[in-house]
Structure 1
């Protein structure tokens, strides 16, 4: 990968139902440590966008590339990209199409997806979007450990339904260079030892992890939303990852 002495841009990308606001505490901690941190809202998750429910993964890829370009990222000055949860599909596409723009990838309770993946391929075509489910239902899918009542209230108040096209679209990949990007897995709701075992076993959720050539794993035990439950510690993990050349 290209090396640079310039402080790299750290681009923070939130998962489903979330906007840039979800990273506020992490971004503030990174900036207080002197890092160049930028958070973005993916297309389809801006509540003021009248066409948001029609946005696609391709729209999200374009937006990520635009965010990188606006912040001076290039092949000569690649970024640290941090992706949480369901941001893994558009980010995997970015890594496949433009691996030269990413100096290090940091997956937060997430990971790269394999070719042919879709988040919800069987979601009926007439489902326009998918709202944040009740928390008792959500807790069966992802750990809410560490979230205060205030954090849950904010989550509920600010969550934006996930666009149907984003959930249904299949990821098509073609450049193995993405597997050579130095990568950090921040394991929160599932311990790293279990994640690596599942990757070796070819579990669909983690199979692509086994293909990564330069991988570090970090355990940050908490629930699926560490940007709220352990924001300061997560910021330090990201800052440390950003300082590595490999």
Structure 2
């Protein structure tokens, strides 16, 4: 199966290199996506541009695909399911949840000259970064790309209720499956409250398992 891999804020397609290398021998075709504005040199990209890039990769596949979104890009994966519900076999959310219709994509940190740069590690101290040593932090931050304002502040539009028929897997890194279920039950993730089939998978990592546990993440994706 083709597995589309979509990184969250500041990540380009290379963030998935080790996961992709492990998925191939497991019988799948990994398709890491470098999103417009996150690795192609553009600072004017919009969320629509990023959705278009994901859909282009999806449409290039011969059969149904599994779409994997990490962190903020869980919303991008869900937008793909909304746009092509008949072509998406499964959506996997890694360390995040999709935004609701009418919500903003990722307006989390200050904008500086039209982009949202990585704000430093301060906001992520705790379970998110517990498995990152100083060298890994330095290497990650040096590779990351500021996110265009047109992506971060975009309004999410979901239109096709067939998305709720697409099976979902939630990979839980810095939170537990029990916590994720509690948040859904409490109404904190309205989109997932309406999904007909959800599975939860635990992985013992911080927020970036593609960096710290790539082989284990690849195995979990293959099993999914």
The verdict on a shared fold, with TM-score over 0.5 as the criterion, is yes
Structure 1: give runs of 5+ residues left out of the alignment.
1-7, 242-246
Q: Summarize the Cα distance change of 1:150–1:101 in structure 2 as closer, same or farther, 3 Å threshold.
A: farther
Residue in 2 aligned with 1:235? 218
CA distance in 1, matches of 2:97, 2:91: 10
SS in 1 for 2:204: coil
SS in 2 for 1:99: coil
Residue number among 43, 64, 79 corresponding to 1:93 in the alignment:
79
| Contact persistence 2:65–2:90 (CA under 8 A) | yes
CA distance in 1, matches of 2:108, 2:27: 44
Provide, for residues 82-136 of structure 1, a one-character-per-residue CA deviation record: whole Å limited to 9, x for no partner: 1101112222222111111210111111222211121355978875011111212
For 1:1-246, list aligned pairs within 5 A: 8-46=1-39, 48-49=40-41, 52-70=42-60, 72-73=61-62, 77-120=63-106, 127-139=113-125, 143-203=128-188, 206-241=189-224
Number of residue-to-residue matches in the alignment: 224
| Contact persistence 1:58–1:90 (CA under 8 A) | no
SS in 2 for 1:100: coil
TM normalised by structure 1 equals 0.85
Provide, for residues 154-174 of structure 1, a one-character-per-residue CA deviation record: whole Å limited to 9, x for no partner: 211110001111111111111
Q: CA RMSD in A?
A: 1.9
Provide, for residues 132-154 of structure 1, a one-character-per-residue CA deviation record: whole Å limited to 9, x for no partner: 112123326x7112123332122
CA distance in 1, matches of 2:6, 2:112: 28
